[in-house]
Amino acid sequence: MHKAGDVVLGGVFEIHFFAVFPDQSFISEPQEPTCHGQAQTMAFAIDEINRNSNLLPNVTLGYSLYDNCVQLGIGFRAALSLASGQEEKVVLDKTCVGTPPILGIVGDSSSTRSIAISTVYGLYRVPLVRAMIQILSHFGWTWTGLLVSDDDYGLHAARTFQSDLVQTGGGCLAYLEVLPWGNDQAELRRIVDVMRKSTARVVIVFAHESHMINLMEEVVRQNVTGLQWIASEAWTSAAVLQTPHLMPYLGGTLGIAIRRGEIPGFRDFLLQIRPDLQHNNSYGNSIVNQFWEDTFQCRFAPPPTGWVEAGGALCTGNEDLENVETEFLDISNLRPEYNVYKAVYALAFALDDMLQCEPGRGPFSGHSCGNLQRLEPWQV
């Protein structure tokens, strides 16, 4: 998703979600996207800022939003493309190709991908685990198991957790297991077997929801019940895990969630979204089109071979989102989206403050000020 502007902000979000990473064989069409709310939140925030005459007057913000496909490598590649300005086949309007410099990147809610992407910009943040220690201390749980994902997020969480546990004298780990990427049935079977045989009834998990989907399939298969799960923010509020099928196993889970917030006007903005009939085959402009097809169970022209003959409907672009049940319009639980909203505004206020700098009183070398035409990301 791209929009031209005097200053362009980048975004790398989860749009296509796969419990098991797909094989990019290029012999069939990719699966449909299941979520792009965070990307639309960033688009809404920028649209709102551009309409605010008191914030960044005479400056139009644009955006360049990428899909990380829930894969670290793809997200990292997108961040490098944004940082270097070497974006591939990005057409912003009828006459221009390419983008102005990206002055900041807003990432998604996954700590794993955010940690990796932030290294492009020299930032780093270790996941917070002290809240987990406090939960254990509050309930007097001193014998626990720890499961972590095999990435920066999980491995750093494991090291920090073990260190803090020793310092506080709050208990011991019965086991520490690293969850595999993908659906490694043999390894998942071994890990769940360890959990089943352990006397520890409390299990702490620092992992993404995709790890939990694969893990819970094996937990159900072995019928491991009676566990007290403690969830990291990465999967605490994952709707995909809140099903009747998993409630006998995950019911009563304690977790740390991202703060919920309200974004006035966001639902009306979502209802105004329409597919782009002129760029249906352009990936950069087809995210909404793919969402549209999946939501209304229709296909844009030209449809796949045999679609119409089998009774399939053609999309017109005039379908009404209010006439279908979709989580896309549910704004009652905006958590990662609210963080995206605040992050965009933080960048906008920083840029606005910089542009009001008085020569000779600036924060840079020789008390100079930043210049919009030669602005560098680190200056923001």
Provide the mean pLDDT of the chain: 80
Q: What is the pLDDT of residues 60-109, one digit of tens each?
A: 999 988 776 655 555 555 555 565 555 544 334 444 444 445 777 787 55
Secondary structure (3-state) at 204: strand
CATH of the domain at 79: 3.40.50.2300
Q: Of 182, 210, 184, which Cα lies nearest the Cα of 35?
A: 210
Residues 284 and 249 reside in one and the same domain: no
β-pairing, 61-67 vs 2-3, is antiparallel
Q: Are residues 97 and 137 in the same domain?
A: no
**Could you tell me if residue 181 is inside a domain?**
yes
Q: What is the pLDDT of residue 180?
A: 93
* Per-residue pLDDT tens digits for 12-23: 777 654 433 444
Residue 93 resides in a domain: yes
Residue 210 maps to a domain: yes
Secondary element (H or E) of residue 354:
helix 336-355
pLDDT digits (tens, 9 = 90+) for 158-180: 988 998 898 888 799 999 999 99
User: For residues 131 and 16, what is the distance between their CA atoms, to the nearest angstrom?
Assistant: 31
pTM of full prediction above 0.75: no
Is the domain of 291 the same as that of 317?
yes
170 shares a domain with 250: yes
> How far is it, in rounded angstroms, from Cα 12 to Cα 78?
7
Whether the pLDDT of residue 122 is over 90: the answer is no
Token pair, residue 322, equals 């209010």
| Helix, strand, coil percentages, rounded to 5, for the chain | 40, 15, 45
How many domains does one find in the chain? 2
Residue 332's domain comprises 2-109+262-379
DSSP class of 262: -
- 121, part of any domain: no
- Looking at residue 74, what is its pLDDT? 52
Query: What is the Cα 271 distance to its own chain's centre?
Result: 22
Query: Would you call 152 exposed, middle or buried from its count of C-beta atoms within 10 A (0-12, 13-18, 19+)?
Result: buried
Domain boundary among 234, 255, 276: 255
Q: How far is the C-alpha of 342 from the C-alpha of 131, rounded, in Å?
A: 23
Last-in-domain residue among 229, 255, 281: 255
300 and 372 fall within a common domain: yes
Evaluate whether residue 119 is within a structural domain. no
CA distances from 115 to 153, 154, 184 (A): 7, 11, 25
Query: In terms of domains, do 242 and 269 share one?
Result: no
Q: Tell which of 202, 234, 255 closes a domain.
A: 255
Secondary structure letter of residue 334 according to DSSP: B
Q: List the structure tokens of 42.
A: 């960033």
Tell me: do 248 and 298 sit in the same domain: no
User: Is the same domain home to 268 and 323?
Assistant: yes
Residue 116 lies in a domain: no
What's the whole-number mean pLDDT along residues 32-40?
A: 65
Task: Tell me, yes or no, whether 6 and 82 share the same domain.
Answer: yes
Confirm whether 117 is domain-assigned: no
Query: What is the distance between the alpha carbons of residues 276 and 289, in angstroms, rounded to a whole number?
Result: 7
Kindly state the average pLDDT of the residues 320-333: 85
Identify the CA nearest to 363 among candidates 378, 341, 345.
378
Highest mean pLDDT among 85-94, 214-223, 235-244: 214-223
Mark whether 296 and 324 lie in a shared domain: yes
Same domain? For 164 and 197 the reply is yes
Q: Is the pLDDT of residue 29 over 60?
A: no
Say yes or no: 235 and 302 in one domain.
Answer: no
With a pLDDT cut of 90, the percent of the chain lying above it is 38
Confidence category of residue 197, pLDDT binned at 50, 70, 90: very high
Residue 292 lies in a domain: yes
User: Which residue has tokens 């961040």?
Assistant: 79
Identify the band that residue 121 occupies on the pLDDT scale cut at 50, 70 and 90. Answer: very low
Task: Render pLDDT for 265-303 as a digit per residue (tens, 0 to 9).
Answer: 999 999 998 887 765 554 445 778 888 888 899 999 889
pLDDT over 70 (residue 25): no
Helices and strands, counts by H and E, the chain:
11, 11
- Amino acid of residue 7: V
Block residue for tokens 């844009």: 300
